[in-house]
Structure 1
């Protein structure tokens, strides 16, 4: 995993805004409608080329394809794996259950979107069918981002746990058995990304967000046991992939809401430290979690782990001032104790699901530009290059 001895590197969490035409095609394909495949291919080519160029222009060091080729960060899985059918009945999160007007706002704001709470469920033994789609994704990205475009490249894939909680179990005898099956089968995609030479990012909001969703009725101690089970499934699926070739993303849910019931970082941090990943990417710009560096101060930060803190919030159209970004980066460096093991990032993705983008596309690129500018300010201060004037 790339580090730098003279400046703070920048990356993001994965998903970036899709254009309207591509969004429509992805949603229609997910719904089972007939679409023009040649048009979809053309739109994917155009979209990936565009987000690559925009990341490059914004100064992103570690970039990707913006998840342009997927309808959602985890809900695309039934397109690649058999065993899924019907419809899941995902619980309403506590944020929304206690604030029903948020649901009304959500439905008005995103009238046409990919499946979120009604994704298919596992109704048979899940099996990864073939690697053609992930290979096509990687191939398109490589064509659009030739060598030298980014200092390093990454690709995302969902954790077994977030697939299990979104594409719910209606077949296996237990949640643990379903997790094991998903870990076994998702490994094919994980390995394909690794074998292509990309840094693999595992998206695991289940390690935090699911406290207020699927597992909202568990006790605190039982949720932590579930969290540990999910982390174990990730490590099992990634066995054999060197830790410096994958990073783990953890978040509390990429939505604009109260987040009052979020599990504290301090509660799950000992479990997160069991990861075999080389880096943890965690929200810290989220107003509900900006104080969570205190948990790291209390627990200490492992010597062999990179921190990728979110210093740009991903559900607001505010563009963070570069000085604010710099302060957040410097705070992260202080708790890690090593400026070379901090990579500046965003809290979450900006295009988590097709048709559900909280931040306007043009604002996203301004936010990423501010990320780079803030990282440059922080670098000057951390490496003692700032002018006395």
Structure 2
């Protein structure tokens, strides 16, 4: 059974309140497990999603410069849909990686940038691997990044961005692994952009990690400037401050993009932010990016 986050055992009143807030138990909390060799099956659902996205884009008066579709990392599938078949976690993760190749390639072939959602690279420190030592967890992160690269195959890294987070819920997060501990391992992913949380109060201080471990020359930082777990709408000036701090930490104003900490609807039944507030937050990000641009290019 997939364990609860470590925080839940220490903050029991919070855990009860969270359970009451969720209108229904998401399937991810009680997902099926692997009981035989994993096989991808058909791409029908991926095709339907791509067609829906393409139709929505065509309906817009203006077209974005770049569009992306998300897909899960091998590691987050392995830590959510547990292994009851393979001899080892490594064998399971790599089997998933080989099967995910089809979906990753499909997304790119449709003209989208591929965003790999990999919360396992940070969040699972307090979830499935909460009883492991830091060294053991870092070895797992290294394995999971290697699995991502297997799944990517020969997809050019400029068509890939990697999202890593500590779990998209409003909670204490006191056991989260520090960014500096995992950042060098994230750089090994064959991705052209790295999406990280910096808006929430548990990780807003971690920009100095880029001073210690400089961003590789081929990577862009997608800095989270919007908290996806609160209905507060960030002020554009605050967003500009965050972007300028990211630019200072990385040393390159041209390799920082305003982003969200995570998704606004991670899975059914877990939305924290109202839809109309989401749009207000995104508008604030646009305004904040304009302010930051004026400051950085003044």
Asked if the contact 1:301–1:335 (Cα under 8 Å) also holds between the matched residues in 2, the reply is no
- Match in the other structure for 2:134: 220
Determine the C-alpha separation between the residues in 1 that align with 2:21 and 2:5.
18
- Match in the other structure for 1:326: 240
Aligned length: 296
Asked if the contact 1:113–1:353 (Cα under 8 Å) also holds between the matched residues in 2, the reply is no
TM-score (normalised: structure 2): 0.97
CA drift of 1:92 comes to 1.1
Gaps in structure 1 of 5+ consecutive residues: 1-88, 385-389
Q: Does 1:211 align with 2:138?
A: no
Determine the C-alpha separation between the residues in 2 that align with 1:299 and 1:133.
39
Partner-residue secondary structure (3-state), 1:261: coil
Determine the C-alpha separation between the residues in 2 that align with 1:279 and 1:119.
30
- Alpha-carbon RMSD across the aligned residues, in angstroms, is 1.1
- CA deviations on 1:154-213 (whole Å, 9 max, x unpaired) are 000000000000010011111011001100111111111011110000000100000000
Partner-residue secondary structure (3-state), 1:308: strand
CA drift of 1:113 comes to 4.3
Partner-residue secondary structure (3-state), 2:34: strand
Determine the C-alpha separation between the residues in 2 that align with 1:238 and 1:208.
20
- Match in the other structure for 2:15: 103
Determine the C-alpha separation between the residues in 1 that align with 2:176 and 2:83.
24
Q: Does 1:183 align with 2:97?
A: yes
- CA deviations on 1:65-103 (whole Å, 9 max, x unpaired) are xxxxxxxxxxxxxxxxxxxxxxxx210111111112222
Q: How do residues 243-258 of structure 1 correspond to structure 2 at under 5 angstroms?
A: 243-258=157-172
Determine the C-alpha separation between the residues in 1 that align with 2:26 and 2:172.
23
- Match in the other structure for 2:57: 145
Q: Does 1:311 align with 2:232?
A: no
State the structure with bigger RCO (CA 8 A, min sep 6), 1 or 2.
1
Q: Does 1:156 align with 2:70?
A: yes
Pick the aligned partner of 2:35 from 112, 123, 143. Answer: 123
Partner-residue secondary structure (3-state), 2:42: coil
- Match in the other structure for 1:374: 288
TM-score (normalised: structure 1): 0.75
Gaps in structure 2 of 5+ consecutive residues: none
